Amino acid sequence: MADHNFVVGQEFPDVKAFRNAIKEAAIAQHFELRIIKSDLVRYFAKCASEGCPWRIRAVKVPNAPTFTIRSLEGTHTCERNAQNGHHQASVDWIVSFIEERLRSNINYKPKDILHDIHKHYGITIPYKQAWRAKERGLAAIYGSFEEGYCWLPADCQHIRSANPGSVAEVFTSSPPENRFERLFVSFYASIYGFLNGCLPIIGLGAIPLKSKYLGTLLLATSFDPDGKRGSVKQREENFQSHPMHSVCGI
Would you list the DSSP string of 160-190?
Answer: HHHSTT-EEEEEEPSTTT-BEEEEEEE-HHH
pLDDT of residue 249: 34
Annotated domain spans of the chain: 1-79, 81-143, 145-237
CA 120 vs. chain centroid, Å, equals 21
pLDDT of residue 244: 37
**Residue predicted with more confidence, 12 or 247:** 12
HSE, side-chain direction, 13 A CA sphere, residue 178: 13
Residue 79 in this model has a pLDDT that exceeds 90: no
Sign of CA pseudo-dihedral 118, 121, 126, 129: negative
Mean pLDDT, rounded, for 174-182: 86
Residue 3 in this model has a pLDDT that exceeds 80: no
CA 90 vs. chain centroid, Å, equals 14
Residues 6+ apart with CB under 8 A from 17: 67
pLDDT of residue 227: 60
Confidence class for position 241, pLDDT limits 50, 70, 90: very low
Query: Residue 45: how many CB atoms within 10 A of its CB?
Result: 19
pLDDT of residue 242: 39
pLDDT of residue 21: 92
pLDDT of residue 175: 83
Rounded CA separation 250/172 (Å): 8
Find out whether 218 and 204 touch, Cβ atoms under 8 Å.
yes
Residue 183 in this model has a pLDDT that exceeds 80: yes
Find out whether 26 and 32 touch, Cβ atoms under 8 Å.
yes
Mean pLDDT, rounded, for 192-209: 85
Mean pLDDT, rounded, for 93-105: 93
pLDDT of residue 85: 66
Q: Do β-strands 67-73 and 167-172 pair in parallel, antiparallel, or remain unpaired? A: unpaired
**Kind plus residue range of the DSSP H or E element containing 45:** strand 42-47
| pLDDT tens by residue, 9-63 | 999 999 999 998 999 899 988 898 999 999 999 999 999 999 999 999 999 999 9
Mean pLDDT, rounded, for 212-219: 85
pLDDT of residue 83: 58
Residue 194 in this model has a pLDDT that exceeds 90: no
Sheet holding 167-172, edge to edge: 167-172, 180-186, 229-237, 215-223, 203-209
Residues 6+ apart with CB under 8 A from 5: 25
Mean pLDDT, rounded, for 144-148: 85
The average confidence (pLDDT) of the chain is: 85
Sheet holding 11-12, edge to edge: 11-12, 67-73, 55-60, 42-47, 33-38
Q: What is the DSSP letter of 240?
A: S
Rounded CA separation 139/148 (Å): 10
| pLDDT tens by residue, 102-137 | 999 999 999 999 999 999 888 889 999 999 999 999
Mean pLDDT, rounded, for 141-150: 87
Residue 148 in this model has a pLDDT that exceeds 90: no
Residue 166 in this model has a pLDDT that exceeds 90: yes
